[in-house]
């Protein structure tokens, strides 16, 4: 098989995930895009490992071992990430990362979003509960 | 280039290459739908297609152990976790027009530029490189297990410690959020908040003093509804 096929597919998947991370607004969709990027890296690792294990005299199969490690670390990352997103959602009532601007410096006037940024918890939670009820 | 690779060519793709190309198109299309769809649950379901397509690609690259690990962990558990996360954060079912943020065009520009650069570099670098897929599988369970437990034992054990740390960390994160939501300072702060939140929550619960009820566990809210 030509090596360009898996390499090009991996590059395209990585850039798809890059677009998702930059363009999405929901934190869980961003986690999905991160998963896509990690999978693109995994495909690259596997393809190059299969290529090099044929051409090299002896191989450590480092690509496949690293792929397994990446998969395990991605599983840990998704668990921690979802726990953080759920904690943020419980405290703030939203998983919308564009609205989590507490540490932003001076992009908006404090009077404009004063009630939102000061009292985010119950107001947005109640709004959300009403919207989904 | 050796003689064994002399008969390769762009214009005569082998069967494996054709299969790889077709599955790759499906995978890439599913990934595109995942990052562009307006329905959040559909994004998770299209992610299943993309990850399953990648598992088939691993099989075509003769890395069968990685393929089944991919099916077990990604398709089996990660997507289920993501679906649970979507449910627990009360993601809207159906069309949600604000799924994409305002900087979508900047993101599209960056992604297209990165894709063009990467594809150009990769194609240019590996124009005359072929993977030899004949012979014994490069990623069968025996080969992978032997290399993993002969050469990669220490990272493997370190990874188990990392997984344990991640498990404990996830539990601590979710427990601390629950303990904070019922602690007295937060409740007193919630009681002195603006009237907007009180009036909105009074529609929900009837009494302004129970404004902090809306902050409880989302699962409990789902249960009481």
Tens of pLDDT, residues B35-47:
999 888 899 999 9
Average pLDDT score over residue span A62-86: 92
Helix B79-88 / helix A62-92 crossing angle, nearest 10 deg: 10
pLDDT at B179: 55
Average of per-residue pLDDT values in chain B: 78
Q: Flag whether the ipTM exceeds 0.85.
A: no
d(CA B36, CA B173): 30
**A36, A60, A98 ranked by CB distance to B147: nearest:** A60
| pTM given for the model | 0.75
Domains and CATH numbers, chain A: 4-100 (1.10.287.3510)
Residue B142: Cβ-neighbour burial (10 angstroms; 0-12, 13-18, 19+): exposed
3-state secondary structure B87-140: HHCCCCCCCCCCCECCCHHHHHHHHHHHHHHHHHHHHHHCCCCECCCCCCCCCC
pLDDT at B216: 43
Write out chain B residues lying below 8 Å of A54, CB-based: 131-132, 135, 138
pLDDT in tens, B108-122: 999 999 999 999 999
pLDDT at B2: 46
Average pLDDT score over residue span B211-225: 42
Distance between A33 CA and the closest CA of chain B, angstroms? 7
Q: What is the CATH topology of the domain spanning B3-151?
A: 1.20.120
> Is B151 in Cβ contact with A8 (below 8 Å)?
no
Scan for tokens 């939102």, then name that residue: A116
Instruction: Give the count of beta carbons closer than 10 Å to the beta carbon of residue B220.
Output: 10
Write out chain B residues lying below 8 Å of A51, CB-based: 129, 131-132
Non-local CB neighbours of B66 within 8 Å, separated by 6+ positions: A42, A46, A64, A67, A68, A71, B58, B139, B144
Average pLDDT score over residue span B65-86: 91
pLDDT in tens, A113-131: 444 444 444 444 444 444 4
| pLDDT reading at B185 higher than 70 | no
Non-local CB neighbours of A59 within 8 Å, separated by 6+ positions: A49, A52, A53, B147
> Is B66 in Cβ contact with A20 (below 8 Å)?
no
d(CA B186, CA A91): 10
pLDDT in tens, A10-68: 999 999 999 999 998 889 999 999 999 999 999 999 999 999 888 777 778 888 999 99
d(CA A121, CA B162): 33
A99 touches chain B (CB under 8 A): no
Please work out, in degrees rounded to the nearest 5, the angle formed at the alpha carbon of residue A56 by the alpha carbons of A54 and A57.
110
Query: What single DSSP character describes residue B72?
Result: I
| Token pair listed for B181 | 């939501």
CATH 1.20.120.1200, chain B: domain bounds: 3-151
> Is A32 in Cβ contact with B31 (below 8 Å)?
no
| pLDDT reading at B219 higher than 60 | no
Q: Are B22 and B66 in contact (CB under 8 A)?
A: no
d(CA B177, CA B200): 23
DSSP assignment of B157-172 equals HHHHHHHHHHHHHHHH
Q: Are B80 and A79 in contact (CB under 8 A)?
A: no
| pLDDT reading at B3 higher than 90 | no
What residues 5-64 of chain A have any CB closer than 8 A to a CB of chain B? Answer: 5-9, 11-20, 22-29, 31-33, 35-36, 39, 42-43, 46-47, 49-51, 53-55, 59-62, 64
d(CA A31, CA A78): 7
Q: Are A130 and B221 in contact (CB under 8 A)?
A: no
Instruction: Give the count of beta carbons closer than 10 Å to the beta carbon of residue B154.
Output: 8
d(CA A90, CA B217): 7
What residues 71-90 of chain A have any CB closer than 8 A to a CB of chain B? Answer: 71-80, 82-87, 89-90
3-state secondary structure chain A: CECHHHHHHHHHHHHHHHHHHHHECEHHHHHHHHHHHHHHHHHHHHHHHHHHHHHCCCCCCHHHHHHHHHHHHHHHHHHHHHHHHHHHHHHHCCCEHHHCCCCCCCCCCCCCCHHHHHCCHHHHHHHHHHHHC
């Amino acid at each position: 098989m030509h090596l360009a096929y898996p390499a090009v597919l991996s590059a395209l998947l990585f850039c798809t995930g890059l677009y998702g991370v930059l363009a999405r607004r929901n934190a869980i969709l961003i986690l999905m895009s991160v998963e896509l990027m990690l999978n693109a890296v995994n495909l690259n690792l596997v393809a190059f490992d299969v290529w090099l294990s044929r051409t090299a005299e002896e191989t450590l199969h480092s690509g496949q071992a690293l792929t397994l490690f990446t998969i395990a670390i991605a599983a840990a990352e998704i668990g921690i990430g979802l726990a953080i997103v759920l904690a943020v959602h419980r405290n703030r009532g939203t998983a919308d990362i564009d609205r989590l601007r507490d540490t932003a410096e001076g992009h908006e006037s404090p009077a404009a979003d004063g009630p939102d940024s000061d009292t985010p918890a119950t107001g947005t939670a109640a709004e959300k509960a009403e919207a989904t009820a | 280039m050796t003689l064994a690779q002399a008969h390769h060519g762009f214009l005569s793709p082998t069967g494996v290459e054709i299969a790889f190309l077709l599955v790759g198109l499906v995978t890439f299309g599913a990934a595109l739908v995942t990052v562009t769809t307006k329905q959040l649950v559909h994004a998770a379901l299209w992610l299943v297609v993309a990850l399953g397509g990648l598992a088939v690609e691993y099989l075509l690259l003769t890395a069968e152990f990685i393929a089944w690990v991919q099916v077990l962990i990604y398709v089996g558990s990660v997507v289920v976790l993501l679906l649970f996360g979507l449910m627990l954060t009360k993601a809207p079912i159906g069309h949600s027009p604000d799924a994409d943020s305002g900087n979508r065009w900047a993101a599209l520009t960056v992604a297209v530029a990165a894709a063009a650069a990467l594809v150009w570099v990769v194609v240019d670098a590996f124009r005359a490189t072929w993977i030899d897929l004949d012979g014994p599988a490069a990623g069968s369970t025996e080969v992978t297990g032997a290399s993993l437990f002969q050469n990669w034992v220490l990272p493997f054990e370190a990874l188990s410690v990392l997984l344990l740390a991640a498990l404990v960390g996830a539990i601590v994160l979710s427990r601390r959020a629950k303990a904070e939501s019922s602690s007295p300072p937060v409740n007193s702060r919630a009681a002195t908040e603006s009237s907007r939140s009180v009036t909105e929550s009074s529609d929900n619960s009837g009494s302004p003093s129970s404004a902090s009820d809306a902050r409880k566990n989302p699962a409990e809210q789902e249960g009481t509804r």
